[in-house]
């Protein structure tokens, strides 16, 4: 038996420290290969660490909530094998035991002198080193399960439901009514949606489609909590309920983790890149009509469609016409990038993060909508990985979901342009000499004036506005 002292690894972004958020194992527990044994919070994200060995946990060296430097031992495991090295990591996957097995089968006898407790020198091997245990974002892994189950039927199934919906149904007898435990599952496949008037009003106020909500009520009905969970931004709920006044006179929140990283990045961006901001009011009526048509399309069944999708497409189109806004400044050169890793500013319980959709310029409308939805869900769950926030080229922030008309966003470090989409609401608008009610929004954008001159900034924002005014231009 060998004792292994596992050090806190660098998860791949050159980070120097991390906070132990939650242990998934306790002393005496068996630990399997690739089993997640701890959650850590780095300056960029919440990361789950998988085990690179198997055995029995003998000691947890760091308490939850403590911040430790990379390389500090955090766990002691007793294993039948020696500490894993490159050759051990390259062993066939078949040699790994099934999860839950305390110890592996005895390895062939090897003549070696007794050694003190070992410390793992590094984390899992790179993908080129073969199979074996891997850290998040590195090496091989099995197919990951989806974080959100599909609520909508496939297009062909949807037509069957519509046919069922139009056909009259006799009232069900009390004995035929579904049990409460299985009601939510059946409610997803039946029409109409069951929700009380106050719940319907709440859904309307929050912009939630009730057909997309998974009911959890005892009779398959949609509850208030169901609607709140489905709402597009968690922070929108803060104005619905007023919390009790805290008994403490003040709170002291340590500046660490994501909040510390946000502060550092914003100071760096604000004082190193000379910002210039421009704004434009836009008639977004046709965008709202286009969004409604997409929602009704069978091609977008089960995919969330919002004005942010049209804004993302507009920015990609405008970048192609004004490539210098999709660039990076260095002291010696300006790097213009001919691909778009579209960053989306996401407000999460852990703070503001900016994950990005890789190669967004090559995606269809459906692919981009799916990618944006998955990115948002991952961010809300706190599962965004550092690699998902790296190498962004341009960013959009949707402040309209908070009811804001516009703002002056600060650049994401390493980028030279960011666009803010304001709220879209009906306002008086002059059309052909007549004042009519139209859906109007204000688009704001900030640029790094070292790279983007005023004329380029204005042309880029005008191009974005032209798509919001007339989405048909995307068909060029």
Are 202 and 227 contacting, i.e. CB atoms less than 8 angstroms apart? yes
Strands (E), 13-142: 17-23, 30-31, 36-41, 46-50, 55-60, 67-69, 73-79, 118-119
Distances (CA, A) of 411 to 229, 310, 461: 30, 21, 15
How do 342-344 and 394-398 pair as beta strands?
Answer: parallel
φ/ψ (deg, to 5) at 446? -120, 145
Q: Are 17 and 131 in contact (CB under 8 A)?
A: no
Report the C-alpha gap between 471 and 366 in whole angstroms. 15
Phi-psi domain of 448 (left: phi exceeds 0; alpha: psi -120 through 50; beta: other) = beta
Catalytic residue among 152, 161, 275, 449: 449
Query: Which pair of tokens denotes residue 155?
Result: 């297009």
Who's near 109: CB < 8 A, 6+ residues apart? none
d(CA 419, CA 461): 8
Give the tokens for residue 71: 């390389």
3-state secondary structure of 2: strand
- Pairing of β 46-50 and β 67-69: unpaired
Facing residues of 418 across strands?
395, 446
β-pair partners for 444: 279, 420
Known active-site residue 449: yes
264-270 contact pairs (CB < 8 A, 24+): 265/412, 265/413, 266/410, 268/413, 269/410, 269/411, 269/412, 269/413, 270/410
Active-site annotation, residues: 449
């Amino acid at each position: 038996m060998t004792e292994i002292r596992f050090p806190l690894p660098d998860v791949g972004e050159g980070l120097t420290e991390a906070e132990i958020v939650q242990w998934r194992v306790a002393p005496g527990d068996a630990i399997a290969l690739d089993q997640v044994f701890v959650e850590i919070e780095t300056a960029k994200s919440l990361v789950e660490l998988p085990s690179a060995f198997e055995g029995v946990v003998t000691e947890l060296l760091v308490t939850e909530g403590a911040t430790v430097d990379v390389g500090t031992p955090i766990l002691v495991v007793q294993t039948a094998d020696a500490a894993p090295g490159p050759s051990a990591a390259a062993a066939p996957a078949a040699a790994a035991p099934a999860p839950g097995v305390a110890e592996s089968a005895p390895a062939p006898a090897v003549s070696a002198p007794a050694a003190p407790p070992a410390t793992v020198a590094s984390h899992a091997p790179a993908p080129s080193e073969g199979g074996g245990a891997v850290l998040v974002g590195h090496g091989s892994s099995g197919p990951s399960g989806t974080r959100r189950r599909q609520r909508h039927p496939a297009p062909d199934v949807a037509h069957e439901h519509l046919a069922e919906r139009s056909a009259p149904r006799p009232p069900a007898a009390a004995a035929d009514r579904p049990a409460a435990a299985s009601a939510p599952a059946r409610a997803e496949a039946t029409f109409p949606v069951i929700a009380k008037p106050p719940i319907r009003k709440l859904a309307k106020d929050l912009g939630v489609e009730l057909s997309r909500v998974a009911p959890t009520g005892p009779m398959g009905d949609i509850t208030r909590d169901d609607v709140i969970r489905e709402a597009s931004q968690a922070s929108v709920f803060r104005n619905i309920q007023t919390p009790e006044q805290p008994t403490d006179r003040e709170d002291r929140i340590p500046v660490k983790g994501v909040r510390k990283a946000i502060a550092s990045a914003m100071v760096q961006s604000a004082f190193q890149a000379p910002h210039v901001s421009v704004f434009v009011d836009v008639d977004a009526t046709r965008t709202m009509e286009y969004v409604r048509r997409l929602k009704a399309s069978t091609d977008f069944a089960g995919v969330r469609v919002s004005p942010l999708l049209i804004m993302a497409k507009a920015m990609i189109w405008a970048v192609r016409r004004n490539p210098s806004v999709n660039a990076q400044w260095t002291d010696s050169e300006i790097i213009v990038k001919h691909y778009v890793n579209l960053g989306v500013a996401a407000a999460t319980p852990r703070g503001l993060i900016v994950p990005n959709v890789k190669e967004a310029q090559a995606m269809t409308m459906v692919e981009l909508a799916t990618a944006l939805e998955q990115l948002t869900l991952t961010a809300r769950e706190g599962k965004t990985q550092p690699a998902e926030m790296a190498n962004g080229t341009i960013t959009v922030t949707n402040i309209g979901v908070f009811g804001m008309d516009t703002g002056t966003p600060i650049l994401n470090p390493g980028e030279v342009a960011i666009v803010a989409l304001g709220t879209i609401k009906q306002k008086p608008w002059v059309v052909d000499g007549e004042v009519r009610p139209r859906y109007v929004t204000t688009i704001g954008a900030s640029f790094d004036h070292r790279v983007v001159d005023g004329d380029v900034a204005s042309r880029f924002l005008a191009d974005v506005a032209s798509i919001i005014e007339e989405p048909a231009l995307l068909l060029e």
